[in-house]
Amino acid sequence: MSVPVAAETIFHLGPLPVTNSLIMGWVAVFLSVLLAVALNRKLGAVPRGVQNWFEWLVEQMMSFMDQVTGDRAKTRKFLPIIGTLFPLIMISNWLGLLILAVPVHITEGHHNLPILRALTADLNATIAMAIFSVVISHVLGFLALGFWKYGNKFVKLGDLAHAFGQFGKKPISEVAIGIFVALIELGVGFLEIISEVAKIISLSLRLFGNIYAGEVLLHVMASLTGKLPPFLLPIPFMFMEILVGVVQAAVFSMLTLVYLTMATDEPHGHDEGEPHGAEKAAAAH
């Protein structure tokens, strides 16, 4: 059986079409919440057993995040976001393996529709996740730096105003060069805005492409088993997909962390006292 690119609609809730990937998304969210509730029910001052293991896991995650943020305070601030995205995406990726283990279908017309499909194998879902990652980075950037300072990272009107403000203070040749550089940086700022759209495209397509390709591979392997159980031949590839699920969740989460860190970093340039937040964007941008 082929795997269509678009998720199949299983039923409708009023005008809302409920697809097989949306069903698996609900399952992934339920399992994530269930895990969080179970871990919080028996927290002790002295960690033991499962709590001890998860606290070690969180500490390792924070240490890894420190290498990106360079600041434990930022790590603690971003941990709820990254600590939610990573397990949700990983669980969603792994649930896609149930398609072969539990091959449940419903018949609609002349088509058999699979009830189970990984949430991250639906481009709509990965685009929504990518939009969240990029938008939350801008929201936190505005809150951390302020409107003018953060906005000047993209539309550098502050730098242009600063350059024009040098008339009478510097030789005309230096003023002209400053205005020319500010105009170039203004154009680069607009390119930065375009790059924000590119972030959404790259984040969503990378995650979707890897998970969807894995589902296609498993289906192809299952179709070659003949009279054997359909899950027998794909078993080695299922182990590979388990690893891919972890790697892709980590890549998405770490890129989100990079965006959050870059958005909240102080820009370098003119003194903070310049009008309209006339600071230059960090070289890391």
Residue 214 CB neighbours (<10 A): 25
d(C-alpha 95, C-alpha 93), whole Å: 6
**What is the percent of the chain where pLDDT is above 90?**
31
Average pLDDT estimate for 43-68: 84
Residue 278 has pLDDT above 50, yes or no: no
Structure tokens at 229: 């159980």
Please tell me whether residue 9 adopts helix, strand or coil conformation. strand
Alpha-carbon 76 to chain mean position: 18
Lookup: tokens for 116: 């189970």
Q: Whole-angstrom Cα distance, residue 167 to residue 162?
A: 10
Question: E strands along the chain, which residues?
Answer: 9-13, 16-19, 105-108, 111-114
Q: Is the pLDDT of residue 283 over 50?
A: no
Tokens at 192, concatenated? 């930065």
pLDDT given at position 226 = 56
pLDDT per position as a tens digit, 95-132: 877 765 555 555 554 455 566 788 898 999 999 999 99
Q: What is the pLDDT of residue 284?
A: 39
Lowest mean pLDDT among 17-26, 78-87, 274-283: 274-283
Task: State residue 277's pLDDT score.
Answer: 33
Helix, strand, coil % in the chain, rounded to nearest 5 = 70, 5, 25
pLDDT tens digits along 201-227: 999 999 999 998 888 887 777 677 655
pLDDT at 274 over 90: no
Given pLDDT bands bounded at 50, 70 and 90, which one contains residue 232? low
- The confidence score (pLDDT) of residue 272 equals 41
Q: If DSSP codes are grouped into helix, strand and coil, which group holds residue 20?
A: helix
Position 67 confidence tier, pLDDT thresholds 50, 70, 90: very high
Q: Which two tokens stand for residue 254?
A: 């770490």
Interval 243-247 mean pLDDT? 92
Confidence band of 255 (pLDDT split at 50, 70, 90):
very high
Confidence of residue 252 (pLDDT cuts 50, 70, 90): very high
Residue 127 buriedness (CB in 10 A; 0-12 / 13-18 / 19+): middle
Mean pLDDT value of segment 167-187: 72
What pLDDT score was predicted for residue 200?
94
List the single range of 85-94, 133-142, 179-188 with lowest mean pLDDT: 179-188
Using the Cα atoms of residue 18, residue 22, residue 27 and residue 29 in order, give the sign of their dihedral. Answer: negative
- pTM, two decimal places: 0.78
